[in-house]
Amino acid sequence: MIEEQFIKINSDTWKELEYFSKIINKKGVKKLPSKDVVKFLRTFRHSSHDLAYATTHYPKSSVVSYLNSLVGKCHSHIYAVKKVSPSSLIKYIVYDFPRLLKEYRWFVISSFACFIIGMILSMILVVINVDNAGMFLPQDLISSIKGGQTGSNQWNYPLMSSYIMINNITVSFKAFVMGITLGIGTIYVLFFNGVQLGALTALIYKYGDPINYWSLILPHGIIELTAIFISGAAGFIIAKSILLPGEYSRKHALIKGSKKSISLIIGVIFMLIIAGIIEGFFTPLNISPSLKLIFAAITAIILTIYLSIPYIIKK
């Protein structure tokens, strides 16, 4: 097809798209009647195809520049980033996030189960034989803990606490991302993290000071560990969407499952920020371990109340 004929056949569609573009610039796409939205999308798709055709057959023509500009402007109308208002963010934090946790509670419970099984197993193995700790923990950390038995009054608790915090943040995002491996990677990440915490706890009870240990772990750890379980749940949602797509194709099921997972991960980020603030400003305070444990108990109560919001307030 010669260029003049191509322009003559399609120019009316381009003019219609120009008209819609001007209207949307002035009033916004939400002001368009539904039938006009359908027309706008149809003309946009048509013009996009025309741009591809013109680029291939008339690469040096001015019609390519014209269509590129027109389609680019309309593309921004269709794929504009939705702005998040402060009110919607507050609503998400206060109600929507705990509601999602209620909806996906079995995924969260499954995530917790993978973690706790690993924790119990490693504790048993280390209690049976302390040398088994080397399978799960870095040797320098083990040596530091064992040093408490051989004359040092205090081993490096801040180092250990920092190690756990960094590890838990890493685990949270790994548990989410590894859902793409049909959940196998998520199970491994949760299980192995539970194994590490179990082995560490068993060593502390043998060589260290359990009260001091829990006073450094629990104030931020309650929130942090809950965030890990939720991240694991997000990974399992992705895995389920691939394995059991239902009425959708696997591609569309994965897209849908990923959106659900990300809606959980946003909340996880907030939880990790809160845990990080506690870890950075409260945990290092030179106060008695008992006060830190009381604080940890308060965080557990507040978290329980927060997660109960959907059961208390039913919309």
Q: 35: domain range?
A: 3-78
Q: Which of 78, 95, 114 is the last residue of a domain?
A: 78
pLDDT tens digit sequence for 87-107 = 888 888 889 999 999 999 999
Above 60 in pLDDT, residue 80? no
User: Element (H or E) spanning 183, and its range?
Assistant: none
Cα gap 229→253, rounded to integer Å: 23
pLDDT tens digit sequence for 231-281 = 999 999 999 999 988 777 787 888 888 888 999 999 998 998 898 888 878
pLDDT band at 7 (very low <50, low <70, confident <90, very high): confident
Cα gap 192→170, rounded to integer Å: 13
Same domain flag for 213 and 148: yes
Same domain flag for 280 and 189: yes
> Per the structure, how many domains does the chain have?
2
Q: Which of 47, 78, 109 is the last residue of a domain?
A: 78
* Beta carbons within 10 angstroms of residue 137's beta carbon: 20
Q: Which of 44, 62, 78 is the last residue of a domain?
A: 78
- Could you give the dihedral angle defined by the CA atoms of residues 242, 244, 247 and 249, in that order, rounded to the nearest 10 degrees? 20
Same domain flag for 104 and 183: yes
Same domain flag for 158 and 269: yes
